[in-house]
Amino acid sequence: MLNWLFGLFSGDKLRSAIKEREAHGYTGATDSTQHALNCAQTDRLSDQGVQGLIVERAGQGKPVAKLVAAAVDRGIPIPTASLSDATLGNIIKEREAHGYTGATDSTQHALNCAQTDRLSTGQIDSLIESRRAAGLPTGKLEAARRNRG
């Protein structure tokens, strides 16, 4: 409902409103007004613009959660093939910090698969073993291993 109103804001006014509310702890995942502001901002981008900014910002180590959310909302594929291993890992970690898991979110699952698809079965087995020995979680790797048979 607020999207059309916020769509009338200038780019600077929109950015200021988003940053001010973020400074007060609001996120698009938990607050409908913040979500509407974020949508008004990303709606100004073409599909290719969203994909390009995901690659650009993630490559610079900048947050991309809003852009990934916009891509998901609009049904835009996330350009995982254009992302380095480190960048893909950073996107996954950023989304995990917001509570997304591969078990409950199809986008997170797809990102996890894109990450583990880059590994050989031997690499997955080795990582499972080393992470277990270090007492670290292995769930995503074990799921990837099961999916390979």
What is the C-alpha to C-alpha distance for residues 97 and 68, in angstroms, rounded to an integer?
14
- pLDDT one-digit tens code per residue, 91-112: 898 888 888 898 898 889 999 9
Q: What pTM was estimated for this model as a whole?
A: 0.71
- Which candidate, 16, 19, 14, 20, places its Cα nearest to that of 45? 14
- pLDDT one-digit tens code per residue, 30-54: 888 888 888 888 888 899 999 999 9
What is the C-alpha to C-alpha distance for residues 116 and 132, in angstroms, rounded to an integer?
17
* Residue pointed to by tokens 């835009």: 76
Q: What is the mean pLDDT of residues 66-85?
A: 88
Look up residue 58 and give its two tokens. Answer: 């993630």
What is the C-alpha to C-alpha distance for residues 24 and 70, in angstroms, rounded to an integer?
22
- pLDDT one-digit tens code per residue, 136-147: 999 989 999 998
